[in-house]
Amino acid sequence: MIVFKGPDTLVASPDGRLGFAPPGGHWPEPANAALDDLVGEALATLRSEGYPDDRVRLEVGCDLRYAGQASELTIPLPGGRFDAAALPPLREAFNAEYRATYGASTDEALELVNLRLVATGLRPDRLDFRAVRVAASGAETKPSRRPVSFVRGGEPLDTPVVPRQALEGTLRGPAIVESYDSTIVLPPGAAATADAAGNLLITLD
């Protein structure tokens, strides 16, 4: 038996991600029919936002619970359809999640409380931050050294000055990292590492 609770809901975010929860139905053909309605609504909504059907990712989740209980767990629906092939792994996944959450599971009958569909519009030209690199300045600096005092009144230390775009691996202080828009001071004991996008990750002892 399926008991759907609550009204229709639709939540959208700017990246084309939509969440739906349908009203009442029965198991399993009407559940598939309700799912078809949700898919149609999601695709139509994303088409109006400029996403063709082949650029939409659909993810179906089921709010399941043991019969008579009052709380549910959301489990992904294998293949996105209710059929004979999907039900055993759905049951196994629910039992595993229930054991992980509550410490035990049973062989009791399951109730489907809600169907959830998440439709995500996929842009072919989305920015891949893994490919982003820091642009070199027009007037690139070269590695050099200069005396720098890190303690008021302290003896100056012979300190390397490193262009940010030339930083590779881990740079340990004392050091100065320079770029066209900033100067970063690494005191003795500090270390800086550039990540894949060129951000500097600094650790202090």
* SS3 readout for 95-132: HHHHHHHHCCCCCCCEEEEEEEEEEEECCCCCCCHHHC
Write out residues in the chain with pLDDT < 70, as ranges.
1-28, 126-141
Closest CA to 77 of 89, 66, 67: 89
Q: Which two tokens stand for residue 180?
A: 């066209």
pLDDT at residue 53, as a whole number: 92
Angle at 85 (CA atoms; ends 81, 91), nearest 5 degrees: 85
pLDDT at residue 97, as a whole number: 94
Length of the chain: 205
Angle at 54 (CA atoms; ends 48, 59), nearest 5 degrees: 90
pLDDT at residue 153, as a whole number: 85
Q: Are strands 170-172 and 175-179 parallel, antiparallel or unpaired?
A: unpaired
C-alpha to C-alpha distance for 7 and 128, rounded to whole angstroms: 37
pLDDT at residue 127, as a whole number: 66
Residue keyed to tokens 């004392």: 174
Q: Which two tokens stand for residue 164?
A: 């940010």
pLDDT at residue 157, as a whole number: 92
pLDDT at residue 24, as a whole number: 42
For the chain, the domains span 9-121, 144-203
